[in-house]
Amino acid sequence: MSRFFSEKYKKLVPYTPGEQPRDVVYTKLNTNESPFPPSEKAIKYAAIEAEKLQLYSDPTCKFLHQKLAETFDVSADEVLATNGSDEILNFAFMAFCDKNNPAVFPNITYGFYKVFAEINGIPYEEITLKDDFTIDINDYIGIGKNIFIANPNAPTGIALSVTDIEKIVASNPDNIVVIDEAYVDFGAESCVSLIHKYENLLVTQTFSKSRSMAGARLGFGIGCKALIQDLNTIKYSTNPYNVNRMTMAAGIGVLEDDDYTKKNCNIIIENRKYLEKELERLGFVFTESKTNFVFAKHPSYDGGFLYQKLKEKGVLVRHFATDKISDYLRITVGDSNQIKTLLTSLESILED
């Protein structure tokens, strides 16, 4: 830290992203990437744009917003694309929370919510999940604070129904409810359709998981026009050209190729079932995942130990050394080869 660093950030603990090793070839099941390459259309469109990089990207993201609007059956002015969904989440904390408008979110959820609150000086409360890691919606009914819920939740993988989400949104009409649907395409229900009924609902999604574009950095928010206007005010006051040309074009490409995305999601759902069955055979227990990962623990082995042993065998999974979940591993559902490698490694560790 330099002696120039602002007092207000001196205690800030940044988010720790999952390892992105560059040097060793791992079976990489630690950051919930898709095992499938991006859509051919996405690759092709991005490559075409690479030849025109001397020109700025369109700050209004017109064609991408139109395509997103068409895909989600909303208007283009109800959509905002960002540099990954972390950016739209940060914009939401900035735009709608402040000293007088605190945030609440589950105590076990995407670790970045807390960091967004901290960096923006926003008071926040972490609401304890039930012992089975489910969200008790009664904790959020009429709470009168801005609510951030990942649905399905991470790293638990457990989803709420749209009916339950609607109860939370309807009971907090004077506060914003942000539903982070990063993992929604793997078996949960999206609540995008509620945005026309509730002006206090913002839904965020990402191209990083089901759409095989983690490396392109593309996320988006969907909400009523006035919310999107506010988020645009933040965007145009921080980084108007936030989405580059190649990513914008790739985004349009993958949306045009929705069958490919759906096919891949179905494979992941099938692979998840298989992985769960095999993990069960090995003695693991796990939550009911609606995502592209399984959140599993073994009654006889410490999570940190298994994480380390797997890493030594060239398999990366995610382990959170934090209260209540340190027994667990978050394992990305990969393709059949990755699953085989994982299972073989686990079997060998458990036998030792």
49-68 residues near its own copies, rule: CB under 8 A: 49-60, 62-63
Least distance in angstroms from the C-beta of 147 to its own copies: 12
Under rule CB under 8 A, how many of the chain's residues touch its own copies? Answer: 92
Q: Are the C-beta atoms of residues 233 and 288 closer than 8 Å to each other?
A: no
Site for its own copies in 232-271 (CB under 8 A): 232-247, 250
Q: Which helix (H) or strand (E) holds 243?
A: none
Q: Name the residue nearer to its own copies (CB basis): 52 or 197.
A: 52
Of the pair 135, 231, the CB lying nearest its own copies is at 231
As measured in angstroms, the least distance from the Cβ of 35 to its own copies is 7
Give least dist CB 344 to its own copies, A.
Answer: 23
Q: How far is the CB of 151 from its own copies (least distance, A)?
A: 20
For helices 225-236 and 85-96, angle between their N-to-C axes, nearest 10 degrees = 100
Alpha helices in 120-188 (DSSP H): 162-170
Interatomic CA distance for residues 334 and 315, integer angstroms: 12
Decide whether 183 or 286 has the Cβ nearer to its own copies.
183
Q: Name the residue nearer to its own copies (CB basis): 262 or 281.
A: 262
Is residue 5 a contact residue for its own copies (CB under 8 A)?
yes
Which residue among 27, 109, 153, 208 contacts its own copies (CB under 8 A)?
Answer: 208
Binding segment for its own copies (CB under 8 A), chosen from 6-14, 137-145, 187-195, 340-348, is: 6-14
Angstrom distance (rounded) from CA 295 to CA 333: 10
Stretch that binds its own copies, among 66-74, 151-159, 186-194, 205-213 (CB under 8 A): 205-213
Which of 6, 24, 132, 321 is the binder for its own copies (CB under 8 A)? 6
Token look-up 């229900």 returns: 189
Taking the complex as a whole, the smallest distance from the CB of residue 45 to its own copies amounts, in Å, to 9
Helix (H, G, I), strand (E, B) or coil at 191: coil
H, E, C per residue of 293-307:
EEEEEECCECHHHHH
**Cα dihedral sign, 84-148-146-142:** positive
Binders of its own copies among 130-189, rule CB under 8 A? 175-176
**Integer Cα distance of 343 and 347 in angstroms:** 6
Q: Which residues pair with 203 in a beta bridge?
A: 179, 222
Task: Report d(CA 314, CA 311) in Å as an integer.
Answer: 5
E strand or H helix that includes residue 148: strand 146-150
Out of 76, 105, 118, 272, point to the residue binding its own copies (CB under 8 A).
118
